[in-house]
Amino acid sequence: VRTAASVSTGTQLGNWSVAPPYFNTTSFDPTTGVFTVPATGRYSIAATISYSTTATLTGIFGGDPAFVVRNITTGDDLIVGLFPILNIELALGVGLRAILGNGTVTITGEVELNENDEIALFYVNDGLTISINLGGADAPIVWSIHRIS
């Protein structure tokens, strides 16, 4: 679990807590947020990330910000969860595109991983220039990886 943090650029999420009721294995480094795959196999990955914006958007936004579970070893994005985006067509063909002021992104999937692959959770801002708060006391960020075969 990870408590509140403010970010304004894309970053790897670190500084996790594994205090009860959450748990840790020797394969996870809570400081860096890196999970090192202990054995080749099929893994189930899940993450729930709540966010809120720290400012009102003042212009048209053109990117696709997301949370990504990435295999650092290969550089592959394994699972991607896009932010909810509001697209509105205004009068005279003017469009408005913005992320919601707060929300929760949930990502899940099953992937094949190799022993010693390093996996981490990232925030990818993709053109979003305002700061956002991730997690919080009532809505911490939670992610997990479990070997299923």
pLDDT, tens digit, for every residue of 28-40? 999 999 999 999 9
Distances (CA, A) of 38 to 72, 78, 127: 15, 17, 35
Between CA 135 and CA 6 the distance in angstroms is 9
pLDDT tens, N- to C-terminus, the chain (149 residues): 566 678 888 999 998 888 888 877 889 999 999 999 999 999 999 999 999 888 776 666 678 899 999 999 999 999 999 988 877 777 776 677 778 888 899 999 999 999 999 999 999 999 888 888 998 767 888 999 999 99
> Are 23 and 17 a contacting pair, CB within 8 Å?
no
pTM for this predicted structure: 0.88
Cβ atoms < 10 Å from Cβ of 45? 20
Q: Is the peptide bond before 21 cis (omega within 30 degrees of 0)?
A: yes
Closest CA to 66 of 14, 110, 128, 139: 128
Integer angstrom CA distances of residue 116 from 28, 70, 73, 124, 144:
12, 14, 8, 24, 17
